[in-house]
Structure 1
Amino acid sequence: MEIDNELTDKEIVIRAPEYDAEIQELYQSIQKSFGWQHPLIFYKGTSEYYLNLDEVLFFETDGRQVHAHTNDDEYVIHHRLYELEELLPGRFARVSKSAMINIRQVYALTHSLSSTVVRFQGSQKQVYVSRRYYKVLKEKLKRGR
């Protein structure tokens, strides 16, 4: 560890003779610990957008595309959901085979006989939670709040 009051931001350097699975795991662990990630690019029409992840309510697949939903807009993102699970910080949770939500944006969980629905503050948008992911979602909501 080296403290340098001239620095304006934190810097971490990993030195190794080769890039192997152990180094990759260490690198990903550090990224997740500090909330660092590669910036995601959101697309709408012919424009590229660089949104703050806090604005995103949820990601869902529609055919072969993944869409990112905000309170009042929808964007396409060029990643698969399984890739997003690796890239996104812990505040995002998988809730079905085709959707991931931002648990900080959850306003309510509504239960019925056949399903659970996630509702978001200030939006009419909602997402269905599959039974397979419900327990994990509840745990993340308890820890994340």
Structure 2
Amino acid sequence: MRVEIDPNIKEGEVIIRAPEFTKNITEIQELIKRQNATQKVMTFYSGSTEFYLEVGDILFFETEDRQVRAHTENQLYTTHQRLYELEENLPIEFIRISKSCIVNVNKILALTKSLSNCLVQFQNSHKQVYASRRYYKSLQEHLKKLR
């Protein structure tokens, strides 16, 4: 890897040179794209009030009764985005753990595995969600990468 600093340019640029296009290059592209395109602050709703919160404060997003809800340590908000839209636009520390839930892995305190699923507990909160068996392995891999 080589980094060049040029104070004369206005915007950074990433160039990958390789003899062929590989899966690793695709993963690097996705990682950089998600990191650069992430929203730091999002709009959430509680009743008729709009709240502007930092994405890093969110423990998890879940779908319930056709609404996407965002959970912080002590509050519950709704968002007008769908879960699949959030999954595409959230920073890399967010990962889907079931059909109806995306979690912030930086906020995970503990994982308790059982035969059918995995209980996910969060730091500084009583809130918890379940990761399905289908997503458990990718959750573990994601945790190892980021910690």
Fold equivalence (TM over 0.5)? yes
Q: Shift in Å at residue 54 of structure 1? A: 1.3
**2:54 paired with 1:78:** no
Q: 1:135–1:29: structure 2 CA closer, same or farther, 3 Å change rule?
A: closer
Amino acid corresponding to residue 118 of structure 1 in structure 2: V
2:145 aligns to what?
143
Amino acid corresponding to residue 7 of structure 2 in structure 1: I
**2:109 paired with 1:130:** no
Tell me if structure 1 keeps the 8 A contact 2:98–2:131: yes
Question: How do 1:92-107 and structure 2 match up within 5 A?
Answer: 92-107=94-109
Q: Shift in Å at residue 12 of structure 1? A: 5.7
Amino acid corresponding to residue 111 of structure 1 in structure 2: K
Q: 1:65–1:84: structure 2 CA closer, same or farther, 3 Å change rule?
A: same
Segments of structure 1 that go 5 or more residues without pairing to the other structure are 14-26
| Distance in 1 of aligned mates of 2:32 and 2:117 | 37
Match of 2:7 among 3, 13, 23: 3
Amino acid corresponding to residue 65 of structure 1 in structure 2: Q
| Distance in 2 of aligned mates of 1:79 and 1:135 | 26
Identity %: 49
Question: How do 1:21-60 and structure 2 match up within 5 A?
Answer: 31-34=33-36, 36-37=38-39, 39-60=41-62
Q: Shift in Å at residue 28 of structure 1? A: 7.5
Q: Shift in Å at residue 34 of structure 1? A: 3.1
Segments of structure 2 that go 5 or more residues without pairing to the other structure are 14-28
Tell me if structure 2 keeps the 8 A contact 1:118–1:126: yes
2:92 aligns to what?
90
| TM-score for the superposition, normalised by structure 2 | 0.77
2:22 aligns to what?
none
SS at match of 1:51: strand
SS at match of 1:83: helix
2:111 aligns to what?
109
Q: Tell me the matched-pair count.
A: 128
Tell me if structure 2 keeps the 8 A contact 1:95–1:137: yes
Q: Note the aligned Cα RMSD (angstroms).
A: 2.5
Amino acid corresponding to residue 128 of structure 1 in structure 2: Y
